[in-house]
Amino acid sequence: MITWNRAYRGAHLSLSQRRWLSKLTLERLATRPVQSYISTSNNPYLNLSLEHYLLQKSSPESTILLLYVNRPSIIIGRNQNPWLEVNLSLLSPAPRAATNSEPELAGSFLGAVDLVRRRSGGGTVFHDEGNVNWTVICSSKTFTRDKHAEMVTRALRSLGVERARVNERHDIVLDQGERGGDVVDGADMHVTPFTRQNAASRPLKVSGSAYKLTRQRALHHGTCLLSSPNLNVIPHYLHSPSKPFMSARGVESVSSPVGNILLENEEFMGAVQKQFAVMYSESRATELQEVGLEWLENETVGKGYDELNSLDWTYLQTPQFNVSNAADALASTDVQFTVRNGTITAGVLRSRNNSAFSQLGEDSVGTRLHEIAAWSTALPRMFTGVDRAECDKLATWLESVLPPSHKTAGHS
Amino acid sequence: MATALSALRYAIRSRTINLHYTALLKSSQYRAFHVSRRVDVVKPFLLADIGEGITECQLIQWFVQPGARVEQFDKLCEVQSDKASVEITSPFDGVIKKLYYDPDDMAITGKPLVDIDIQSEISEEDEAKLAGGEGEASPADEGEAKMSSGQQEMEAQGGAEAGMAEAKEVKSDTPRLAARRPTSKSDHGTLATPAVRHLTKELDVNIGDVEGTGRDGRVLKEDVHRHVSLKSQKPETPEPSAKAPKTREDKRAPLTPVQSGMFKLMTRSLNIPHFLYTCAADVSALTALRKKLSGANKSTEQKLTHLPFIIKAVSLALQQHPLLNASLDTKDPKKPELVYKGAHNFGFGADTPHGLMVPVIRNVQDLSIVEIAVQLRELSEKARNNKLAPFDLRDATFTISNIGSVGGGVVAPVISEPQVAIVGIGRSKVVPAFDENEELVRKEELTLSWSADHRVVDGAECARCAERVRSMIEDPASMMVNMR
């Protein structure tokens, strides 16, 4: 696909051809009222860092568009729980769960998938090369939640996607079913000729939105499912086996049926750029600026990138939650953990058959959940005086519910 | 000579000062006309509304701790609500004294977020962000300002006089909240000739308080006199100069004119023993008819909702059940009388920015459905723009409350004296149902809730009328055969 090549361009160029982050570029950032960017990289950590940099450093009255495509990755919201939202066992290159319990995945497995926690709120999404991400940064004075979702819907409609509309949750959906009889206002982005109150089938979600609001600036970014080859696999990634066993605070994802729009990335990006220019630029056209790996030279971008990459940011920003196997009828020992800021703060083992009871050892308090390499070795260290067989049983259960992470830091 | 000279000097000086002053006011936004005070005391800073009607959000992380010095616009914390993560910044310089929430707690909008020891000058609007002052006065204020202009026209079902006096009271009681109100008092209120200024000094009136009716909002002599006469009516309120913003206390407010009217009327309704009768009508046929008619007529003027149809159906039914259109006269409690009204004057509830109003469509029995729709539209428009005349609000014999435009299924509407019945219409919803062949079909159901005065109306009579209305709505063609 054309996009693929474009995204990789930076890596293939020789040193003389590679783009350097120029002073001019940074000046433009601080002064131009309307700016339009496209990323040459498919690194999700970089793209999100660039987005954040643009949010922080652009001039307060400017309006910015950024478009990027990520390699396969799962992006969780600022305040979400990765154990609850994602099937972590599938992320690592050598998954154990996939082959045993879900044989259908074995053939279509995606290989390494990144896990990224973004800085805006909202739910969990799966990004791949068939999904284009769009970001609009504008002044918080003129910001509304629907404004740019409507802009993207206009772009879709201009490409012939007449089923697209913005729903009440500010997502973009495709209405299903037959064309209705009512005449519909073409300029209304919230209704299509196919919209009906009692639709036979739910509309398919093709874009989700999330926001980050600061004092002067508002960032609205969204996805757009154009032609993902992975739609049948995504539900497995986003369904965590630990759901029945966790009670958590924080924002939970609202799952919706999704579908592909079936457009080319380039087509879509062009249409969005055009709508953006029409909306904001007096000359109806804006100069498109490429951004990519070279921006890592900038200190702020580099720091943000390192933070997003770090396991601490990814795992330790999780709000407090409890894990318990009370819902597991087959277990013979109750286990319960309280995890705060991604570290275990309390834990207890209690036998269901007798009154045996063991509390988490003092030195284990503060163990980082994502640093546990294997429960079979970790569990006996945490709890003393527990029957070995019971421990092993629990360890197996914990391996599926709180899968150890096989990633090492700095894997960009 | 000397006095003339000093008068002239006075005139020149006051004029120059006047010009300078208004120039200052005009150059900056009028909101800059603020009273700044040093407040060396700890105040709670409230979590502002972050939009979308969100009442609470989760606290993700703090950027400050108790004891930290903050400057204006420093980040205090980050909160998260469904899709948005929001950075909250400090509006003042100061020292953080207390954090009200731990990370992961749900922070409530409008409640304190942090205690801050303010060490800067703070303006009026910042004051409002602290506890106690957050704008609850302003919608009432705007309401008053608008109400007092429409006051002369509106009777609002009795109680307007009292309401008017109250409105004026609240208005002149809040000179400090002048920044909020959209009137141009602060801007031009000080425009006046020296003669007028002299008059204000003589009568001991603050020219800033007087509303100018002259050109450009100039204060004229008549305005000053009028202000004085009004001032003598209401009791003297102490100038609230150094009013310390209260922390977490209740606020007393007089009822708005609309609320007063409603209060009086509904208190009288307490005497009426209500009974409720509900029935669900299948409006699928009605909806289909409406769609057909709207499809034929492209103009929005001709668009019909189900309300005109229901109104006409009720009127037709009332011809067979005139008791429900009667008026109960209890002037002599020992000899109550029923007055069977000839005209069908239907009041309908209109939700306006000022509250509930009940305009009346007269002689529904003589109107066609389209004419009823036109009347509905016109009266609603007038109600929204506060242009209803007392004539529009009087002499209702029956009331229809279309709360379904907002929502609701079964409702229990309250009868307005001296009427004896009222019907409330809920929101239609699609439900599964069985038809005559025991097949599962899709039906659109609308619930009509009838309340009647059990002192004169019995359940069966009300039920019969309700069922008649229902059958007419379910089969709109049957309405045609009864129409005059």
Q: What is the CATH number of the domain that holds B150?
A: 2.40.50.100
Residue B358: give its domain's CATH number.
3.30.559.10
Contacts of A209 in chain B (CB under 8 A): 83
Residue A183 contacts B where some CB pair is shorter than 8 Å: yes
- Chain B positions touching A120 (Cβ under 8 A) are 83-85
For A213, the closest of B58, B73, B87 (CB atoms) is B87
Q: Give the whole-angstrom CA distance, residue A7 versus residue A40.
A: 5
Contact check, Cβ <8 Å, B84/A119: no
- Domain-terminating residue out of B156, B173, B190: B173
| CA-based nearest distance B89→chain A, Å | 7
Confidence of residue A45 (pLDDT cuts 50, 70, 90): very high
Of the candidates A78, A182, A214, the beta carbon closest to that of B60 is on A78
The half-sphere exposure of B175 on its side-chain side, counting CA atoms within 13 A, is: 14
Whole-number pLDDT of residue B281: 94
Across the interface, whether the CB atoms of A251 and B89 are under 8 A apart is answered no
Same-domain check for residues B263 and B287: no
B84 contact residues in A (CB cutoff 8 A): 120-122, 145, 210-213
Of B73, B295, B430, the CB nearest to A215: B73
Would you tell me which residues 368-407 of chain A have a C-beta closer than 8 angstroms to some C-beta of chain B?
none
Asked if A250 lies within 8 A of B104 by C-beta distance, the reply is: yes
Q: Are residues B142 and B199 in the same domain?
A: no
Q: Are residues B119 and B1 in the same domain?
A: no
Cross-chain residue pair B82–A214, CB shorter than 8 Å:
no
**How does pLDDT run across A149-195, given as a tens digit for each residue?**
999 999 999 998 888 999 888 899 998 888 877 778 888 888 888 88
Residue B432 in contact with residue B443, Cβ under 8 Å? Answer: yes
Specify the pLDDT at position B40: 61
Do the chains contact at A119 and B85, CB–CB below 8 Å?
A: yes
Those of residues 43-82 in A touching chain B at CB distance below 8 A are 77-79
Question: pLDDT value at position B153?
Answer: 34
- Classify strands A288-291 and A34-39 as parallel, antiparallel or unpaired: parallel
pLDDT recorded at residue B299: 61
Q: What pLDDT is stored for residue A407 in this prediction?
A: 55
Contact A121 B80 (CB under 8 A): yes
Active site positions of B, annotated: 454, 458
**What separation in angstroms does the CA of A197 have from each of A161, A184, A194, B464?**
20, 14, 10, 33
Cβ–Cβ of A79/B85 closer than 8 Å?
yes
Are B360 and B407 found together in one domain? Answer: yes
CB atoms within 10 A of CB A75: 24
User: Among B85, B90, B443, which would you mutate to test the A interface (most chain A Cβ atoms within 10 Å of its Cβ)?
Assistant: B85
Evaluate whether residue B20 is within a structural domain.
Answer: yes
* CA–CA distances in Å: residue B214 to residues B16, B27, B204, B404: 20, 22, 21, 47
CA atoms of A165 and A174, how far apart (whole Å):
6
**For chain B, how far is it from start to end, CA to CA, in angstroms?**
86
Looking at the fold, whether B82 and B228 belong to one and the same domain comes out as no
Instruction: Write down the pLDDT at residue A286.
Output: 72
* Minimum mean pLDDT range among A94-108, A125-139, A345-359, A384-398: A94-108
Average pLDDT for A324-335: 86
Give the β-pairing of B429-434 and A114-117.
unpaired
Q: Which residue of B has its CA nearest to A118?
A: B85
Query: With bands split at pLDDT 50, 70 and 90, how would you rate the model's confidence at A199?
Result: low
Q: Report residue A206's pLDDT band, with 50, 70 and 90 as the boundaries.
A: very high
Look over chain A and give the mean of its residue pLDDT values, rounded to a whole number. 83
Q: Residue B141 falls within a domain, yes or no? A: yes
The rounded distance, in Å, linking the Cα atoms of B474 and B444 is 10
DSSP 3-state assignment of A353? coil
The shortest CB-CB distance from B104 to any of A169, A214, A320 is to: A320
Give the domain extent around B98.
41-173
- Nearest CB partner across the interface for B82, out of A121, A197, A212: A121
State residue A308's pLDDT score.
Answer: 93
In a domain, residue B303? The reply is yes
Shortest Cα–Cα distance, B80 to chain A (Å): 6
- Across the interface, whether the CB atoms of B58 and A250 are under 8 A apart is answered yes
- B323 and B210 in a common domain: no
| Per-residue pLDDT at B134 | 37
Mean pLDDT, range A234-256, rounded to an integer: 83
A79 vs B contacts (CB less than 8 Å) = 58, 60, 80, 85
Of B270, B299, B320, the one marking the end of a domain is B270
Number of domains in chain B: 4
Enumerate the residues of chain B whose CB falls inside 8 A of the CB of residue A212.
84-87
Taking the Cβ of residue A200 and every Cβ of chain B, the question of whether any pair is shorter than 8 Å is answered with no
Q: A234: distance to nearest CA of chain B, Å?
A: 21
Q: Give average pLDDT by consecutive 10-residue segment, chain B, 484 residues.
A: 61 54 50 55 82 78 89 89 83 88 85 85 67 40 36 35 37 38 43 73 74 70 75 50 63 80 88 93 91 72 83 94 92 88 92 84 92 91 80 89 89 92 93 90 93 94 94 90 78
Half-sphere exposure of B206 (CA within 13 A, CB side): 8
Assess whether B352 and B214 both reside in one domain.
no
Q: Check whether residue B188 and residue B109 sit in a common domain.
A: no
Q: Answer yes or no: do B12 and B72 share one domain.
A: no
> What backbone phi and psi angles, to 5 degrees, belong to B58?
-90, 140
In this structure, is residue B429 part of a structural domain?
yes
Contact criterion met (CB < 8 Å) for B104 and A214: no
Give the separation between CA B333 and CA B316, rounded to whole angstroms.
Answer: 32
The pLDDT assigned to B159 comes to 35
Interface touch A78/B73, C-beta < 8 Å: no
Q: What is the CATH number of the domain that holds B195?
A: 4.10.320.10
The residue that leads in pLDDT, A198 or B115, is B115
A residues 142..171 contacting B (CB < 8 A): 145, 169-170
Dihedral angle computed from the Cα positions of residues B307, B313, B318 and B321, in that order, rounded to the nearest 10 degrees: -130
* CB burial of residue B293 (10 Å; 0-12, 13-18, 19+): middle
H-helix or E-strand spanning residue A13: none
Residue B338 lies in a domain: yes
Q: Does residue B240 form part of some domain?
A: no
Specify whether B359 is located in the same domain as B399. Answer: yes
Number of other residues whose CB lies within 10 A of the CB of residue A166: 24
Position A96 pLDDT exceeds 50: no
pLDDT of the residue at B126: 67
pLDDT mean over A284-306:
86
**Domain assignment of residue B468, yes or no:** yes
Q: Is the minimum CB–CB distance between B431 and chain A shorter than 8 Å?
A: no
- Is this complex scored with an ipTM above 0.95? no
d(CA B411, CA B311): 18
For chain A, the first-to-last Cα distance in angstroms comes to 23
Those of residues 81-120 in A touching chain B at CB distance below 8 A are 119-120
User: How many cross-chain Cβ pairs, A to B, lie less than 8 Å apart?
Assistant: 73
Report the pLDDT averaged over residues A5-34: 60
Three-state DSSP class for residue A142: helix
How confident is the model over B210-253, as pLDDT tens digits? 777 776 667 777 777 777 777 665 544 444 444 455 578 888 88
pLDDT for A51: 92
Does one domain contain both B129 and B208? no
A262 in helix, strand or coil?
coil
Residues B102 and B214 in one domain: no
